[in-house]
Structure 1
Amino acid sequence: MANIPSAFRTPENRLRCNGADAIVRILDREEIRVLPLSPSTAVDEVDRVLRQLREYDAAANERAGRTAEPSDSAHKHAGEAHSIVNALRTVARGGTTLLLSNDGGAMKVAELNGIPYKHVGNLIAELACVDPAPTAEELLQHFNDVTAHFATVPQRSRPTGTDFFSCHMTDGVCGSCDRM
């Protein structure tokens, strides 16, 4: 939805798109360093991760009694695959990384490959540890508002109550916020 003129956006999507527009401007100004994958060394890795993502989709479709969506194409999951491969390469070089995704397949494939991940609910929940002002009920409501039509999180990963949005810090460590 980024780069869609504001006049063509619904009021509901206008605020959501402001963030995407800001990211596009930052990327266009090259303020975020993007490390491209070397085609010669990454093709096998990307293919393997793409296969895992497509297998996850196929299994989910089978469980739901659906056939493949018409939007299935060679490019489907390319962004997720490249993100996961970059994370794998970062770990292989001794670095740390965290995949941010609301995509159920990407989260599962990241997990299968030993890559930690968080979704938008995890990020909202971290607000409880840094700012006592919003209540757990308010944070849950914000999560539900954000994921009602945009940034959906798979049912298996969705918070089931306000406890998810409560700070669980003990001795300066929060198991939710500090998980990586």
Structure 2
Amino acid sequence: MRAPIGPFDNAVPAPDCLAELVAPVAGAVAGWSGDVPAEQILYVDTDPAIADTGAFVAHYGQDLLGRSANCVVVAARRGGGTTLAACLVPSGGRVDVNGAVRRHLGARKVSFAPMETAVELTGMEYGGITPVGLPDDWPLLVDPAVVGMPHVLVGSGRRRGKLIAPGPLFAQLPGAELVEGLSL
């Protein structure tokens, strides 16, 4: 099947290729019960050597920059506690960590979570973290621009492969909260 965005001729409904996904992502896809059917979550195989946004769009097409989103894990500190959260913003922007994220989470300080922490707690590969399959108790802050996209390309949980899903799906993920001004 041809993907609705990008030059991908071999898009496969994610429920049909759970073995290609890391366990938390496969579990989220298999247990999906949102309004968007799980079959509309597509998996496309991509080169893991060019998983980072700049290299990815240089290879697969610059137009994907406006049709993709990045998911980053942040650590919000307040008092003696730390809260982990994920942020999903259009790939052409950056997460407003010190403004929108800090205010929304009521934190004194917010920083990007250490790579080891993000990898260990998500069960995903660094550079492929996706909002699909994150720990259920984490807030998932989503830029409304992502939800407004007809289709969005995001990580698959590992550096090889990407997921493509309708934008509205991302507002239905566990812990999802729409945050205006999340992206700079």
Shorter-chain TM-score tier: under 0.3
Higher helix share: 1
TM-score, normalised relative to structure 2: 0.24
Specify which structure has the bigger relative contact order, considering alpha-carbon pairs within 8 angstroms and separated by 6 or more residues: 2
